[in-house]
Each structure stands twice: as C-alpha cells, then as structure tokens.
Structure 1
Amino acid sequence: MHNAIFPLKGEIPSFCRDDNVRIFTSSMSFYNHQMDLRRSLRALPRFATATLALLLCAATPAVRAQLTEVGDGGPGPVKAQHLTVELTSLSPQVAVGGQVQAGLVITIEEHWHVYWTNAGFSGEPPKIHWTLPQGITTGPLQFPPPSRLPLGPYMDYGYEDHVALPFTVTASPSLKPGKVHLDAHVNWLVCSSVCLPGKAHLGLDLDVAKGPLPAPAVVGTLGTAITSLPRPLRPDMSVDVIGGAKEVVFTLKTGGREAEAEIYPFDSGQISDTSDQTVEPLPDGIRVRVPRAHVSPESDQLTPLPATIHGLFKLTDTEAYDFTAKVVPGEVPTPTAGAKKGTDTTGATSVTLFGAIGLAFLGGLILNLMPCVFPVLFIKGMALVNSSTEERGRQRTHGLVYTLGIVASFWVVVAVLLVLRTTGKELGWGFQLQSPVFVAVLASFFFFLALSLAGQFELGLSLTSAGGGLAKKQGLTGSFFTGVLATVVATPCTGPLMGAAIGFALAQPAWLTFLVFTALALGLALPYLALTMQPQWTKILPRPGAWMEVFKQLTSVILFITAIWLTWVFGHLYANDGIDRIVALLACFLVLAIAGWVLGRWPAKWGSTIVAVLLILGGLIIPLRKPAVETLTWQPYTQANFDAARASGKPIFIDFTAAWCLSCQVNERAVLRSKDVESKLIDNHVQLLKADWTQYDPQITQELAAVGRSGVPTYVIYPGSKNSNADVLPELLTKDIVLKAIEKDSKTD
C-alpha cells in the first residue's frame, strides 16, 4: 500500500509513512473544536510524538515538494498530490447587481478522500482565501451531503472520487461592466492511510455585464452539487431528537416511508462518530439511533447531552435536510432486539415465513375495507346482485377470473419491484406514488369514476374495469380488469397486519416474495370469490332497488376524498412549484367533468364517446406537461432596486402583478413569456422589476397611485433617459403593444 501512496520509495523515511500525520491532524482538531481539558490532555502524548516525526519529515525534500503551492492563478484544472482542483462557474458572466453560482471542483484519486465541514474523527475541510476586486464578494463554500469513511476504528466524514463545493459570486450594483479576476489560495487535506496537506493558487475570470442575463443551465459536476445541497425542512416535515442513557434517537417525519438515512452532526462530540447507525423505517418517515459520544476513544465516560443538535439528515446522495432540534431527555424503546444498520426494525425481522403468509392473507382481507378499495368491491357486489339470475357456473367463473386479475396484477407489480431492486434502486411497497404520472392518472381516474357514481353519467356497473366493451353483460374481461383495478388502488395502501408481512417478503428470495404477495392477493380477492363460489350466500344481499342508486352516490364521496388526497400527494412530489402543479391537476378535473357532461348529455353515442376520450387525453396533458423554463430574470420591486436600475441608464419594465389576478397570469403567459417579447427585452437590455402585490405592500400601492392606477395588472416602462416620463401600458396586453413600447422607450436621445 505504501508504494502506491508514496511512489518515491526510499526518499521518504518510514516514519513518514505511518499514521503520524493523521494523529497530528486529529489532535489539532481536538483543540480546534474546543474539546474539554481532559480529552485534550489525553491527546498530548501522541500529539507531541507526531509533531516530532513531522518535523523530521519536513526536512525531507520529497515531503517539502508535496507542500509546495501549485497553480499559476488560473482556473485550472491543476494537478496536485492525489487530486486535481479547479474553479468553475455556471456562466462566464455576472450581471451588475446580480449573482452567479461558482464552485471549487476536486477530483480525487482512488482510495483517497477530502473532508466535509465536520471532518469526523480527524481532518479539515477545504478552504479558500480570496483576494477580490472592489465590488465583488463571494459567499462561503457550501458542502453537499458527505459519506461515512471508516478507517480502522475511526470514522471520517468526507468525499471520495470527486466533489464540487459551490459558492456564490455577487457583483455590486455600482460595479462597472468589464472583466474581473478573482484570486484564490486553496488549502486542503487529502487522506488515505496517511494525510497530506496541499495548496493551490487558482483564479476565476468573469465578465461583468449589464443585466438582465439569461439564467444559466445548472449542469455538470457543479450543477449536480448545487441541486444536491442540503435543504431546509419542508413545512410538513419535522425532526425530533431524544437523548437517552446510551444513545441519541433522531426521528424524521416526511409523510411517507423512507428506506435509508444517515445522521451527520455539524459539531464534533455530540454523537459517536465511529459507531454504526441503526435505521428504523417508519410508515411516515424514518428513525436513526446513534450511540452517544465518549470523552475520548479510550474512555468509557460519555460526553454530556447537548441542549440542541445541528445536523444533516441524509436520505440519499441527492436528498438531505439541514435541521436544528432540541435534545429532549428520554428513552425510545427498541422495537426489535439486535437490529442492524439499515434493517427495518418495525417488526419484519421477527416474522416467520408461515407467519408472513398468514399476516399477508389477513391484511388482504382487511384491504377490502380500506377507503380506496371498498368502492371497487361495492361495484362488484352490485354487479353480483344484478346477475343473481345467472347460472351458478357462470358466476363462479366470474369469481375465478376476478381473482386471476388480482393475482396476475400483484405478480406484475412485485416483478417490477424486484427488477428495479436488482438495478440498485431501493423501492418500497407503494413506490408507484413516487411517480407524478401514476399519481395524476390515478387521481383523474378516481375523480372521473366518482362523477359517474354521483350520477353525472352512466358508466355501467362493471365499466370501472376498462370501458364499455369490457363491461357488457358483466363479461369475463370486465371481471378480470376489475381485479386489475382493485390491485391498482390497493397497492398504495398498507393496511393493518400488512407492514410486517411486506417488510419480511421484500427481504427474501424472489420465490418467497411471490409466495407472500400471492397470499395477500388471495386475501383481497376472497370476499367476492366466496360469494360466487356459494351463490346461496347472495340471498343475504338485499334485493335490487332504489337504495342501490342512493348508496352508489354516497360511495362517490369516498372516491372524491381519495382524489383530493392524491391531489395533495401530487403537489408534494414537486419541490418548487407544487401549488402550480395542484392547480394544473384541478384544471384536468374540470376537463374531465366536461367529458362526463358530454357522456351524460348524449349517452351511448359514438360521437360523444370520441369527444369524451379526446377531452380526457387533453385533460391529462395539463398536469403532466413540463413547466416552461424561465428565460428572463426579474428582480423584486424595491426602492433600492428601482434606483439602481434607473441609474443604469437603461429602460425599465415594471410588472405590477398578483397571484390572485387572473388577467395578470394570462398576460404573463401569453405575452410577456413569448419568445418575441423576451428576445426584445434582452436585446434592448431592459431592466426587469416585478412588483408582487399578492400581499398588501404600501410601497407598491404608492407607486401604483403615482402612475395613476389603483390595481393590477399594471405595466410601466421607464425610458433610459432620466428626464423622460413613464409609459403606462393597457391592462390587456398584446405582443404588438409591448414590442412597440419597448422599441419606443429603448431609443437613445
């Protein structure tokens, strides 16, 4: 190993190849993090020994060469010992008064690593010391989620292979256009079995231009790092921290089941760095148990519990949440003894094969009473009442075909799940609800079916399966596809007794997984199958009558509620524009309601059926279309931004708007976001300000009054000349009006 680490074998003494550098840096990190006196004193002997060894090493020419600064002040990439560093940015330009994202990109040799902001047991994160031109400022380095890097009995937090550390470059509004150079001195510590410090002289050249500038594409290594940065907790999420006698328990509530998680504290000494973290998936989140920290690796004494913990909840390499939570003293019982890291300890590990089969079968039975499944069973029950005059053999065939539809559908879902697992995707039962397409289609289907049950149009009692042709005379095809529908609506649910069975099944070989889920499918199919196998039992069912119509309409309420819930889920699948996506799905529901009206107005007609199908397809396109990419950069309207834009000598376009203003939204989408208008605004270097009046703002109200208006939409263009009067555009915009106004007010005197 040492030959691979130090190619110059023979030039570096053997005592430079051991853990002296690691001991030195770990001891220094004890002091840097202000550890208590007892821990510091324990570190002194090895710290002194390592320091003496390093002083001797420093006299070696080969070691001194490793500590020489590389780079000539350019962006790089620059090759150093065991890694390559470079500076890059998403765009070569930055707007006056604007910002651009840049980053330090580090490519690391195999078996080596650099450190996160909290290095763990020892180490230091990369640092940048800037020499910046006047008017340019940079933000701190931002760190993507790290990985746990064990080395012997110790644990570091850092990165292997490559990492990009983003930062923000800001140009002052008073900065003049032109080229600027950002000078950087970068320091790092790269480690394997030994640690080597390094440094480089890098730089970044940017072109300062008058804005607005097009938004750069967030791509490449830097773009990946930016999109992977830790996020704040969403409003529907929470983190609870319970500090016990031996462990600290972190519980993250996300509203859905999570498979994996790791905890990374921002401060050392709060939890054990070296111990395994035990993961417990929960129905609405995940729980991680971490042993408490010791005063030193050699001591049995625990550090006091902190009052609060600032940490990172890492779910995947691209999804992590930054949290700060109070530590509440207490104990959280362990569900299963002997749980291991990454094990589902909600009960699956204690279930036997026959126990899992029994729980799955009972869970399938109970699924028939779940709100999403019961309407389907009710519809089949009504079909059974209507077909009570059919011969017994025919009814039994219906029951068997319905069961076959359920079993076959469960097999397909499980097969897809297992195939995806072999590709490395960790998916759980109900993973379909992580797909926006699946959720939108399922919500639309429930809404459309609810309209039929409510009486808007007659879809046919067995038409829930797949359309009119499948449902005529209670056909066998209709029974099969009703079984498929029962599976589709059942798989997102995990009813009582199912959790342990599913957790057990998904951890077993494929044939056992199929066996358990077959039992679940048979439990789901049993009620209807039993009624068809014993036709005399249908005598307990009430006779057909007016009550069926009333009960059918009441059943539609359950489906409407399910559609509302799925709409809520659909919005939460999008981090930034969830509200807009919900509105799009509601618009789809409106189109579906029109399609239902067409079917009710002209029933059993080919023309109305074709129109309804086209409306349904068109409605589904609305929530599934990709959002338009914002080309223009709008600054929020403030007096400071207005004064800076006015001082630039460029024309200013102010959009007085509000989220509740329908005319505003139509003008923005139809006119202001059109390619012709956007190109004209960019070509004429028009400064763009958006005065958002969604919530009352006295400054915006005052500005509206100044231009003779009292409401929105209002559009104002200020010519570049400071002595020119503002032009107020009509409330209803056309592209021709806006283009002519821009052309007029962009002319220089």
Structure 2
Amino acid sequence: YAGLGAVAALLGASLQAWLQQPWLLGSLAGLFVLLALPMFGVFELQLPAALRDRLDRAGQGTRGGNLYGAALLGALSGLLLGPCMTAPLAGALLYIAQSGDVLQGALVLFSLGLGMGVPLLLLVTLGNRYLPRPGAWMNRVKGVFGFVFLAMALYTVRSLLPATLLLALSGAWLIALAWAAWPALQRLPALRAVPLLGALWGGLLLVGAAAGGDDLWQPLRPFAGGGSTAAAGQHAEDSFVTVSRPEDLQRELDAAKARGQWVMLDYYADWCVSCKVMEKQVFARSDVQTGLAGVHLLRLDVTADSPASKALLQRYQVPGPPSIIWIGPEGEERRARRITGEVDAAAFQQHWVQTRSQG
C-alpha cells in the first residue's frame, strides 16, 4: 500500500484525471449502492458457489505457521474483500494524486494498510474476550452501514448530478434513515426526537428541491426570494478569463503587470470534482467576489491531456487542479501562499487577506 501511495503521488494529475472521470465516479457510486442492498437484506452478496468452494478448499489445504501459507491466505482474503476496498482506495488515491507529495502518499496508504490489519490482529488476540455475542444488534449495524454506503454513493457523484436532484435525493435519504431509526430509538427517550428532526429536515429538502433550490443548509431559500445560486455562479464564471495555452497566459500576465494588478491563477479541469465544488461554494459567493475586486482572475483550463495543459502545469510546478496561485503586482509569484486542494470560502478569504497584507 505504501508503494501504491508513492506511485499515485508521482503520477499526479494524470492519475487524478483518470480517477475523476464521470464513468468511474458513476461506477464507484453504483458499487456503493450494490454494497448497500445486502445490508438491507435485498440479497446476499457472495461469490459464486463453485468459486467459493474452490477458495475454501485452497484455504483448508494451506498449512499455517509459515510465510508461504500466510501469503496465500492473505491473497485469498484480499480476493474476497477487494470489492469492499475499491471505493475508499480510489478516494485515497485521488487525494494523494492531488497533493503530489510522495512521502505523504506513502504514509497515507501505509496507514490505510495498518488500519485494515490492526482490527484483524485485535480480533484474533482479544476478540473472544471482548466482542459481544452475536444477536439482533448485528442487523442494526448492517442497516447503519447500508445508509452509510448510500450516503457515500451520493457524495461520490455530487458533482455529476444537478443541484436540485442532489437536494431531492438527500432529502429522500434522510427520510428513509429517520423511518428506519424510529423503531430502534423508541427505547431511548433522550434520542426519540432525532429521527423526527431528520424526517422534518428531509421533507424541507424535498420541498426546496421542488421549488428549484440547491442549498442543503438553506433549502427554503427560493421561498425567501433568494432563488438558486445559478445566477451567482454564472456571474463568478464570467469574472474569470479562461486560458488554455501558455502563450495566452503570458499575454494576460504581462498585461496585469503593466497595470500593477494582482493576479489569481485558478487551475481548473472539467473532470475535477473539487474544482466544481469550489466554483459553486467559494467563487459564486458575493462576499468572495467583493474581496477579489481589482484582482485579475485567470482560470487555467487543463481539462485536455495535451502538451498545452502539461506546459501550464509545469509553468509553476503544479501537480494538478484545484490549485490557486497568487501573482503580485510586480509579476512575481507568492509561492509560500499557494493553495493546493479544496478549501471552503472562509479559509479562502482568510488566505487572500493574509496574502495581500504581506504584499
């Protein structure tokens, strides 16, 4: 796992682009849904009987106590558990490719491997003493994991779905979760109101989605006259100058330097999920746009895997989008003030205020 993390960091934007393709995100979301259905008892997820029997015979015929046997049993376990690890591993690889840090990449996946192995060691050494006995509680735990898998499916494809559809699906998920949790929490008076609140909020999300809303935290904004954030997002997009060639970038930088103007370079790609999240939740905000008044905003589009995109990335040694680079009025980059990866509006504004105050 550590070696895989290091390779992911070295591949950088190339791996990042591949992991954020719509077909792959859709496949991962479908895998989450497939894993959720057995948690609700829709069907039993298991290998075909013939293959399962062969693996069982292979495992029984392998004698423990030696390295060969341990390696073979580990490979068989990996084959059985592999599908469950696909989606989390893809998310970790995406984060590592975005950072471009080889050491961090190796440590992240090394920690992932430890996290997978330590519970098994604890199960073998302490399990019989501390684990609760099998019972009805296991079905409730399965149900919790089922809802977690469905939530992860929504999170995975959040950038591919229309905002109103995402709002409606989130509301339906909350109502279903509240309905399932209501019987289980009847014995706990202190928590009895939790599913009611969840169902109420889910209903508000559905009403907001029907009215054209797109905000999970302010679903009824359309009824307050605020409408959707689509217009604000369009205004934010219009305030950027899109650049896809190195010569165009140089021309814009020269013009800004001649005017003594700050420049913000926003590395963007259509396949970049975090880029779209920041476009909606950061750059579409009126307070962020006000704070960036007077700044020449350049959006460096590296969607295509072309020599021009690679040249734009190599110009400032950027591992991939999203990345924000600040260029001072004299034309020099404030390298220590770079932003790599997704940030929220508050962190972005604070970062820009500090960058501007340092000159």
Normalised by the size of structure 2, how large is the TM-score? 0.40
The structure in which a higher percent of residues are helix is: 2
Larger radius of gyration: 1
Greater relative CO, 1 or 2 (CA 8 Å, sep 6+): 2
The structure in which a higher percent of residues are strand is: 1
